[in-house]
Chain A
Amino acid sequence: MTPVQEIPTHLPYNKEDFVSGAEVRWCPGCGDYSILSVMQRTLAQFTTLRENHVFISGIGCSSRFPYYMNAYGFHTIHGRAPAIATGLKCTRPELTVWVVTGDGDGLSIGGNHLMHTMRRNVDLNIILVNNEIYGLTKGQYSPTSDKGKVTKSSPDGSIDYPINPLCIAIAAEATFIARTVDTDPRHMGQILARAAQHKGVSFVEIYQNCIIFNKDVHVPITGRENREDRALYLEDGKPLIFGKNKDKAIALNGFKTEIVDLASVKDQSKLLIHRENDPAPNYAYLLTQMEYPSMPVPFGVFRCIEKPTYDQMLNDQVRLSIEKKGKGNLEKILYTDDVWTIEDKRKN
């Protein structure tokens, strides 16, 4: 795990430096307000220059995000932000590039780009705001909506099986995978900071509340009443313990996780210990399969491994090419070995 960067004594920024001043137009009570505020506060903890942060988004409520950040921003087209961010990062590797997307933008119309960007390990920070509904188009089911979900476009209940965003990230072998929630700003801040520090693609799913079209969809897991029993906060190197009294843990039974009563476990080594840096994706995948209501839902960093990034490898190839062939000489590639000369007959 990458250690959390020490906070320097003189930070160049405070939160307000990252507020663009554009009028924020999300619905009152929208979970995006919290994400925006935590992002602004988080960036103020870093020494990365403001002009080096770039926010790229697609289409949807959350994709308005760049307009509200005082940084460089590009509000693009539906689902394509990862592609645009890839082109930017490949040519300007010194920039810190953020992609802000949603469950529809990232997993439906832009599923292809999301998958390929993660498998290439482009050094981007991807924030996927998941409210399990299409908000901007006013309330249709999304690829993360539960089967049976009644919406404007599914009056008899959705017959789509939902997709689990973190499973996609693991299938694509993203090198940093995490989950957090809009109602826990402290946790979200830690996760965003970790995502920013990670070299390689960072994929963060944020459970978010759409107050208009899918109110309280995450409350059964993250609500004040429920979260201690239904949410599990991952800590690297520690057992997966949860419950109001911290009395329950997770153990492995064959290929499945199961809940065990901590007091009844005699051999602590039987407990599952959280390892972010397991190079094989199998363990992180097991965690994604812990779903409500049968299991507590994990929050935190599922996976954090080191792997050369696409942009780094591309720039390495450029460097090697120059070392090997020398800096490109136009004359040489125009005037090749197989040229021929037509003499000026007038001279003869």
Chain B
Amino acid sequence: MPHKTIEKEIEAVTIRFAGDSGDGMQLTGDQFTDTSAMMGNDIATLPDFPAEIRAPQGTLPGVSSFQIQFSKHEVFTAGDAPDVLVVMNPAALRVNLNDLVKGGLLVINTDSFTEENLKKAGWKSNPLLDNSLKDYSLMQVPVSSLTKNALQQAKIKPTEVDRCKNFFALGLMFWVYGRTPDHTIKWINEKFAKKPEIAEANVMALKAGHNYGDITETLQSRYVVKKADIQPGVYRKITGNEATALGIVAAATITGKQILYGSYPITPASDILHQLSKRKNFNVKTFQAEDEIAACGAALGASFGGNIGITATSGPGVCLKSEMINLAVMAELPLVIINVQRAGPSTGMPTKTEQSDLLQAMFGRNGDSPVAIVAASTPTNCFDYIIEAIRIALKYMVPVFFMSDGYLANGSEPWKLPKISELPRIKVEHPKTSEGPFLPFVRNEQTLARPWAVPGTPGLEHRIGGIEKADKTGGVSYDPANHHRMTELRREKINRIADDIPPVQVFGEKKAKVLVLGWGGTYGSIHAAVAELQNEGKSVSACHLNYLNPFPKNLGEVLKNFPTILVPELNMGNLLFMIRAQFSAGADPSFGGEGIHAVGYNKVSGQPFKIKEIKEKIMALL
């Protein structure tokens, strides 16, 4: 007989699933997320996994985790600290225990707490026996053996049985939070359609986990997180990389142009390549090149041919592409470079997030070589800003960096789907004829873009290249005055983009004691921290940049109204460097005195900001 449990309503929960990298924790987290989103909660996720495909089993480096916050309110991050921690082995406990809130629910697969596993994870004594978990609400579940019992009738090999244990754990957590397993059952049946016996076993494990919650008296209460009050509309769950890929596909449709996506596999950008390689019927071609350089080169070759060249990578790849990007600057051809940033320098920490490549995008080339830079700030707006990057590249005939990061790329949230009719329209015209000899460097008066005449157009045959060109005619030129003028034109062309982008918005009062200025993937933590402090009556506002070069035109005016500007960044001060340079008294006399007073808040641990961290930093400045 199922025992009576009390149902308690709560506002929001953060759960972290942690186990060995072979335990299927990403999949488990993903399924919990899908179901929560479909049940109407707002969600945000943070997957965290090792770079090694299979680090040695049971060891600390092999631990993989997936954190999700779901709430009846709007959420901006995956949660500072988990309220619930589900661990599949002693290593996962050791890596994650410190993050669990005191009094939080700790669900442990006790079967894995063998002497050998404890040793591998560096536990001197068994934490299940030595009272070291007394601060938590402990739920000990022999997940492996319960899964084995439940699958006695399953038609799979004994070695495959243990691999179903993550579904048992998922089923149990579904029960605790009153979620239906239906969506996951459907997903399993589709995913393993060709292996029905595996599908059946996984469903059995999932149901067994769900029933276990129901029939045992381990838990006194179930929790209910009601539907969030979010904007009406049609939603789907999406990660930043998926949104980026869809934005590229949308851009092919909007522009009516062919896209060549050149890429060399690199974490965390490869998923975009995987997504796009399935989209050939959308006029999107993917080219997996021999290296980062060729990936960028092929994209530029496509642009030369009148198509949209896009290349994607992470920071180390940008190092290799920089010469090609510079060629695009000089040849004045459109090119979009996606940088899904990760912890650097060099190989750094491939699977960990950081936003330390902004100055690389700004300056990482020889010569005076300005490019436009836009950045996404949520997983979903990767869709909007990749389209925006493409729009700018085509209109101004310039390379544009689109900055994403590991956190945005892999994190997911509900996406209110745009109406196709509301997507931006982007029109491109290529010259067809010329009165007199064709002049490839005569410019559009408004944008300063040169004409994009494409091979195959009779009468417009011309030559471009990386060597300096004479203004208007495009002939090779070493003329000193011409080089100066062309350098100015290339800069002015980027500056004029500022007339074509929306002004930056202030969240909160336009005058306050502190302005928190951020860019890119830190939006969620900053926004949540500032919103909480505003509710407490504190004099703080926030401003988040999606356009980094050029800055929105009103940025200086916004900054002037705040005596202190806090710039939290997952780097050692990239944006801080840029705003100090541009809004110093010397660079912009309208600031007078000492210019802006900006202070950095820097974190480079491979992890996103916690809301708490930013709140504390703001409080120290108030």
Contact = CB atoms under 8 A, between A and B. Distances in A.
Contacts of B296: 83
Interface stretch (B277-285, B520-528, B601-609): B277-285
Contacts of A318: 280-281, 283, 285
Nearest to B294: A83
A87 B300 contact: yes
A343 interface: yes
A92 B455 contact: yes
B262 A87 contact: yes
A36 to B, nearest CB: 14
Contacts of B455: 51-52, 54, 72, 88, 92, 95
A335 interface: yes
B72 interface: no
A238 B420 CA distance: 65
Interface in B448-481: 455-467, 475-476
Contacts of A87: 260, 262, 287, 297-305, 309
A92 B467 CA distance: 25
B294 A51 contact: no
Nearest to B323: A77
Contacts of B475: 22
A345 interface: yes
Interface string A46-58: 0001111010100
Contacts of B306: 92
A328 B302 contact: no
Nearest to A323: B281
Contact of A340 (B235, B283, B287, B331): B235
Contacts of A340: 37-38, 40, 234-236
B281 A88 contact: no
A112 B260 contact: no
B232 A86 contact: no
Given A20-B463, A340-B37, A85 B301 contact: yes
B281 A341 contact: no
Contacts of A78: 323
Interface in A311-337: 314, 317-318, 321-322, 324-328, 330-331, 333-336
B277 to A, nearest CB: 10
Interface in B263-294: 279-283, 285, 287, 289-291, 293-294
A73 B331 CA distance: 11
B235 A328 contact: no
B298 A84 contact: yes
A336 B278 CA distance: 15
B376 interface: no
Contacts of B295: 83
B206 interface: no
Contacts of B307: 91-92
A67 interface: yes
Contact of A342 (B235, B326, B418): B235
A74 B298 contact: no
A321 B461 CA distance: 34
A20 B461 CA distance: 9
Contacts of A336: 236
Contacts of B235: 339-342
Contacts of A73: 462-465
A74 B230 contact: no
Contacts of A183: none
A307 B204 CA distance: 51
B301 A83 contact: yes
A74 B233 contact: no
Contact size range, B: 35 or more
B234 A341 contact: yes
Contact of B327 (A77, A92, A341): A77
Given A84-B304, A318-B285, A331 B420 contact: yes
A324 B280 CA distance: 11
Contacts of A334: 236, 246, 250, 417-418, 420
B273 to A, nearest CB: 15
B461 A113 contact: no
Interface string A294-310: 00000000000000000
B34 interface: yes
B87 interface: no
B258 interface: yes
A66 interface: yes
Given A74-B465, A338-B38, A326 B302 contact: no
B231 interface: yes
B253 interface: yes
Contact of B298 (A54, A67, A77, A90): A90
A116 interface: yes
Given A87-B299, A90-B287, A334-B420, A80 B234 contact: no
Contacts, number: 204
B301 A95 contact: no
Interface string B374-393: 00000000000000000000
B324 interface: yes
Contacts of A112: 290-291, 294
Contact of A330 (B233, B327, B420): B420
A88 B294 CA distance: 12
B237 interface: yes
A334 B293 CA distance: 32
Given A51-B461, A67-B463, A334-B417, A56 B301 contact: yes
Nearest to A56: B301
Interface string A131-148: 000000000000000000
A339 to B, nearest CB: 5
Given A88-B455, A333-B246, A340-B235, A71 B298 contact: no
A315 to B, nearest CB: 8
Nearest to B275: A333
Contacts of A49: 458
B548 interface: no
A348 B48 CA distance: 41
A343 B398 CA distance: 43
Contact of A322 (B281, B289, B420): B281
Contact of B281 (A67, A70, A325, A331): A325
A330 B417 CA distance: 12
B477 to A, nearest CB: 11
Contacts of B260: 87, 90-91
Contacts of A83: 289, 293-298, 301
B60 interface: no
B195 to A, nearest CB: 21
Contact of A333 (B233, B249, B283, B299): B249
A338 B235 CA distance: 9
Interface of B: 34, 37-38, 40, 229-237, 246, 249-250, 252-253, 258, 260, 262, 279-283, 285, 287, 289-291, 293-307, 309, 323-324, 326-327, 331, 417-418, 420, 455-467, 475-476
Which are the 9 A-B pairs with shortest beta-carbon distances?
A87-B301, A75-B465, A83-B297, A87-B298, A328-B282, A83-B294, A73-B463, A84-B301, A321-B280
Given A83-B295, A92-B305, A318-B283, 10 more contacts: A50-B458, A66-B463, A67-B476, A84-B298, A90-B298, A91-B258, A92-B455, A317-B280, A326-B281, A334-B250
22 contacts: A22-B476, A51-B457, A66-B463, A66-B465, A67-B463, A67-B465, A71-B461, A84-B300, A84-B301, A87-B298, A87-B300, A89-B301, A90-B287, A90-B298, A91-B305, A92-B305, A95-B456, A113-B293, A116-B290, A314-B287, A328-B252, A341-B235
Interface of A: 20, 22, 49-52, 54, 56, 66-67, 69-78, 80, 82-92, 94-95, 112-113, 115-116, 314, 317-318, 321-322, 324-328, 330-331, 333-336, 338-345
